[in-house]
Structure 1
Amino acid sequence: MKKLVASPLASAALAAGLALGLVAPALVTPALAAKDSLTLAMPLEPPHLDPTAGAAAAIDEVVYANIFEGLTRIDSSGAVKPALAESWTVSGDGLTYTFKLQSGVTFHDGSGFDSADVKFSFDRAMAEDSVNAQKGLFDSIAAVEVPDAGTVVVTLKQPAGNLLFNLGWGDAVIVAPETAAENKNNPVGTGPFVFGRWVKGDRVEMVRNENYWGEPAKLAKATIKIIPDPAAATAAMLAGDIDAYANFPAPEAMAQFEADPRFKVVIGSTEGETILAINNTRGPLSDIRVRRALAHAVDRQAVIDGAMFGYGTPIGTHFAPHHPAYVDLTGSYPYDPEKAKALLAEAGHGDGLTLSLKLPPPSYARRGGEIIAAQLAQVGVEAKISQVEWPGWLEQVFKGTDYDLTIVSHTEPMDIGIYGRDTYYFNYQDADFKALMTKLNTTVDETARYGLLGDAQKKLSADSVNVFLFQLAKHGVWNKDVVGLWENSPVQANDLTAVYWN
């Protein structure tokens, strides 16, 4: 059993911060009083704060790299970097990965970190009763062994070219057995920030980890505000109530911020494939002709222009255009209402069709949904819109598959493999696609992997699994003096570990 400290670090740090705030005007000269706190806003509140037990991107957007760490981490360029693993070696046959762990690491409650925590975290994620939303990341692992406190040996069932990248996901962070059960509301990790408090419906507060094993955070405190409404986000930024909004929900306001010298505006890329998702086994949607009709009925560029004010790159499959393995399939289903009508008639729905369209809170979904519903109406498809909050979407759509159509942006990196899962909310079951994924997962050669990824993209397009809309742009707006925020989003993160005020 690991020894725990008597009092939580977070409470001490918050108390110290308060005390400093009371005496700072008298004791600190202006030259030393550089701002060391940041208020960053995001659109969606996470359902909880445990990245190993939920699918919501908002969880990682708060805790990834800030509070929790994995053996590896993904940096701002999308590259794999060491994290809790200082280094690693791979056997010649690609089946054994030996990780050397960082020394001197402690969890935020003061308990020590060692190889037993890694084994616990991986075994927990792979367990039959695992609630990890990305359990498939661990499918290739046969065994996790811990020959000593500073070494972890991972043995694979077959070579896995993506293992190091997969271990850098938020779903693969390392947690302690003593605190894992409470991480949803009181996250305890090893990162450079310690959880302070969560004022639900408003904000999450973090403070600098003064006992961090690596390079300490430059910020003493970080607050993440939840501001979903585009107008409210614009007003808060203009008023100076927030310092930054890393994925601004009002693209129509970009020109206003670009013209204001107080702000820096950065339009970056994300891993967010934004789709009109289809329940492939739901009534008429099990007919490929109906799904293809929907694809021909949607004008992607009109959705981008109307919902995103021109920001976004059209896609024809579930893959990011900035990736070197991307295949441009946007011409597979050109906007053609007459073709859509003909396909619907051929499928026996010439007199019309009524489908549900459940829209989660993001503006791309709510605004895009109205446009798409109007486009579908032109070909005889009535899309009955219902707006659902994020927890409801996760429960009804993602878990319960109780929907016909929905709009969502899949921001997980390199996530084309979700279409090969036995159970996933699209309900797409195809043996040939699964075979492609199996081969991809055991292929290490980059050129061969890119070829398989191309084949997978073409298969999804041919089967018209979903209506692939656009790659979500990242609208960054922040105070011109803030340095270190990510311009792009290779993973779901608001990484504050290198942020400071100039």
Structure 2
Amino acid sequence: MIKVSLAPSARLMRRISVGAALSAGIMMLAQTPAEAAKTTLSLGMSVEPAGLDPTIAAPVAIGQVTWQNIFEGLVSIDETGKVQPQLAKSWEISPDGLTYTFKLQTGVKFHDGEAFDSSAAKFALDRARGKDSVNPQKRFFASIASIDAPNAETLVLHLSNPTGSLIYWLGWPASVMVGPKSADNDKTTPVGTGPFKFSTWAKGDHVELVKNADYWNRDGAAKLDKVTFRFINDPQAQAAALKSGDLDAFPEFAAPELMSSFDGDARLATKVGNTELKVVAGMNNARKPFDDKRVRQALMMAIDRQTVIDGAWSGLGTTIGSHYTPNDPGYQDMTGVLPYNVEKAKALLAEAGYPSGFTFTIKSPQMAYAPRSAQVMQAMLAEIGVTMNIEPTEFPAKWVKDVMTGRDYDMTIVAHAEPMDIDIYSRDPYYFNYKNPAFNELMKKVQETTDPAEQAKIYGEAQKILAEDVPALYLFVMPKLGVWDKKLRGLWENEPIPSNVLRNVSWEE
């Protein structure tokens, strides 16, 4: 009889099992990253939008939440300011500039399942250009005489006159494609074709977007699963939320004086990019003494633009001499046309009949840059005998009522956010009350060509007229001040159009 002992074998098996388990655990630890990449983002904004449909209201905060996230256009504008195909994959313009034929993407659906095709595109553009349209950029579509949709993939625009900026304008938030069935509710529950879908809006606190799992462009699908836009208007609170980690990013940080407080922060990075925000002090050109070009020129020569930037925006900004930024095609530096010169300013005032100066009031919106700029200007104008009283003005309601609509003001100060909006000086009516047939002719001429080189040349001539005529005091371009986690990738550092484009944003693993 053979005696078999089981104990040693059982002990051995237990040792083997424990050893195998430990080895497997070690291998699993080695293969698992210390921290998986995040798929959520908490992003701060200073201003909460009043609605979420950029095709019915002008405030830039609407587009900063929805443009290129929820809503898309026939074309888009990239970070360099160039037009790129989007829901239209290509287009042709007839030799006379009066017919635009778009070939549309196929298989595109709105977030509610409704198909996007040429009939939906026709609906969106007819809504934007119609008699009852409240589109904030309705003028973009004024030259569209009729629209055809001969098949699902083809959209044809027939124009009444050439409009060289049309393709660029079609990339704006105001030109996004909206669905025939959902458009009426887009203000509160927006439905688009973009890489993110609207989830919730807690008024006064945040808007939440989630990834669109059925996004038509697989190569451009969102990398984030959820984005929360949090609205915090106090700069100190913005900084505190960033430093505590409650916010991952604040792409448009509102306090330049606090930027240095992030120096040396192990987690956060600061970015200084460019924008289209042109800070100008507009004058009522129909009211004395601003109806005299010599007076306007004298005021411009009394202002040291760099000192305004230093006092108003902690030295962060770019001086300008016309209503045009260095990012724009055909930009020319016009700051030397009427440079800072107190003695020449005094002489011009005397020539215009104001040897002892005069007194006027500037209506200053409550945004930080405006009163700060006004206070610096006030001290400078005093040096040429001009007294400027500062009247705080609530923005937007009272400012729009008094200045934009009523044109009841002497001078005001505001940052114009619209890209390439030099044509505002040819709009009638507009709050400057500026009338110059030669300038108007240039704005007409620039639309008669789609040749970028020719357009740039015309814009150069327009800048020269404004720099010499000075319908507004041209001060500076505000920078894009960003603060965000160093592991974040894909946020735009520059802002050719007010936005928070998130399709390419991701966390470094």
Distance 1:89 1:422 in 2: 32
Identify which of 387, 406, 410 aligns with 1:404: 410
Q: Any idea what the Cα deviations from partners look like across 1:453-483, whole Å, max 9, x if unmatched?
A: 1110011112111000112211111000111
Q: Which residue of structure 2 aligns with residue 376 of structure 1?
A: 381
SS of 1:285 mapped into structure 2: coil
Please identify, of 232-241 and 372-381, the stretch whose mean Cα deviation from structure 2 is larger: 372-381
Shift of 1:352: 4.8
Shift of 1:126: 1.9
CA contact (8 A) 1:228 1:362 kept: no
Shift of 1:441: 0.4
Runs of 4+ in 1 over 6 A off after TM superposition: 29-32
Q: Which residue of structure 1 aligns with residue 365 of structure 2?
A: 360
Distance 2:338 2:33 in 1: 61
Correspondences of 1:5-154 after superposition (within 5 Å): 33-154=36-157
Distance 1:480 1:496 in 2: 16
CA contact (8 A) 1:244 1:477 kept: yes
Gaps of 5+ in 1: 1-28
Identify which of 417, 429, 440 aligns with 2:435: 429
Q: Any idea what the Cα deviations from partners look like across 1:189-218, whole Å, max 9, x if unmatched?
A: 221122223333332222222222123211
Tell which structure's C-alpha radius of gyration is larger.
Answer: 2
CA contact (8 A) 2:366 2:392 kept: no
Q: Any idea what the Cα deviations from partners look like across 1:134-170, whole Å, max 9, x if unmatched?
A: 2222233232111122210112234333222111011
Identify which of 441, 445, 454 aligns with 1:448: 454
Q: Any idea what the Cα deviations from partners look like across 1:418-438, whole Å, max 9, x if unmatched?
A: 222122222222221111111
Q: Which residue of structure 2 aligns with residue 206 of structure 1?
A: 209
Distance 2:209 2:398 in 1: 27
After TM superposition, the score normalised by the length of structure 1 is 0.88
Task: State the superposition RMSD in angstroms.
Answer: 2.2
Q: Which residue of structure 2 aligns with residue 231 of structure 1?
A: 236
Distance 1:161 1:129 in 2: 25
Identify which of 289, 313, 317 aligns with 1:308: 313
> In 2 relative to 1, CA 127–75 (structure 1 residues): closer, same or farther, beyond 3 Å?
same
Shift of 1:32: 8.2
Distance 1:295 1:110 in 2: 56
Distance 1:202 1:32 in 2: 29
Distance 1:403 1:184 in 2: 33
Q: Which residue of structure 2 aligns with residue 246 of structure 1?
A: 251
Aligned: 1:495 with 2:501: yes
> In 2 relative to 1, CA 89–443 (structure 1 residues): closer, same or farther, beyond 3 Å?
closer
After TM superposition, the score normalised by the length of structure 2 is 0.87
Shift of 1:489: 0.5
Shift of 1:172: 0.8
SS of 1:271 mapped into structure 2: coil
Q: Which residue of structure 1 aligns with residue 6 of structure 2?
A: none
CA contact (8 A) 1:313 1:472 kept: yes
Q: Which residue of structure 2 aligns with residue 23 of structure 1?
A: none
Q: Any idea what the Cα deviations from partners look like across 1:12-52, whole Å, max 9, x if unmatched?
A: xxxxxxxxxxxxxxxxx877853211111122222322211
Aligned: 1:420 with 2:426: yes
> In 2 relative to 1, CA 145–229 (structure 1 residues): closer, same or farther, beyond 3 Å?
same
SS of 1:284 mapped into structure 2: coil
Aligned: 1:385 with 2:391: yes
Distance 2:371 2:47 in 1: 13
Identify which of 469, 474, 494 aligns with 2:480: 474
Q: Which residue of structure 2 aligns with residue 284 of structure 1?
A: 289
Shift of 1:224: 1.6
> In 2 relative to 1, CA 391–111 (structure 1 residues): closer, same or farther, beyond 3 Å?
farther
Q: Which residue of structure 2 aligns with residue 180 of structure 1?
A: 183
SS of 1:261 mapped into structure 2: coil
Shift of 1:115: 1.5
Please identify, of 238-247 and 373-382, the stretch whose mean Cα deviation from structure 2 is larger: 373-382
SS of 1:49 mapped into structure 2: coil
What is the aligned length? 474
SS of 1:443 mapped into structure 2: coil
Distance 1:369 1:230 in 2: 20
Shift of 1:498: 1.0
Q: Which residue of structure 2 aligns with residue 486 of structure 1?
A: 492
Distance 1:181 1:403 in 2: 37
Aligned: 1:331 with 2:330: no
> In 2 relative to 1, CA 297–206 (structure 1 residues): closer, same or farther, beyond 3 Å?
same
Distance 2:257 2:249 in 1: 17
Shift of 1:116: 1.9
CA contact (8 A) 1:341 1:380 kept: no
Shift of 1:257: 2.0
Q: Which residue of structure 1 aligns with residue 23 of structure 2?
A: none
Distance 2:97 2:306 in 1: 44
Shift of 1:399: 3.5
Q: Any idea what the Cα deviations from partners look like across 1:34-78, whole Å, max 9, x if unmatched?
A: 321111112222232221122222221121111111100001121
Distance 1:32 1:245 in 2: 23
CA contact (8 A) 1:43 1:362 kept: no
Distance 1:347 1:276 in 2: 20
Q: Which residue of structure 1 aligns with residue 221 of structure 2?
A: 216
CA contact (8 A) 1:47 1:391 kept: no
> In 2 relative to 1, CA 301–168 (structure 1 residues): closer, same or farther, beyond 3 Å?
same
Q: Which amino acid aligns with 1:447?
A: A
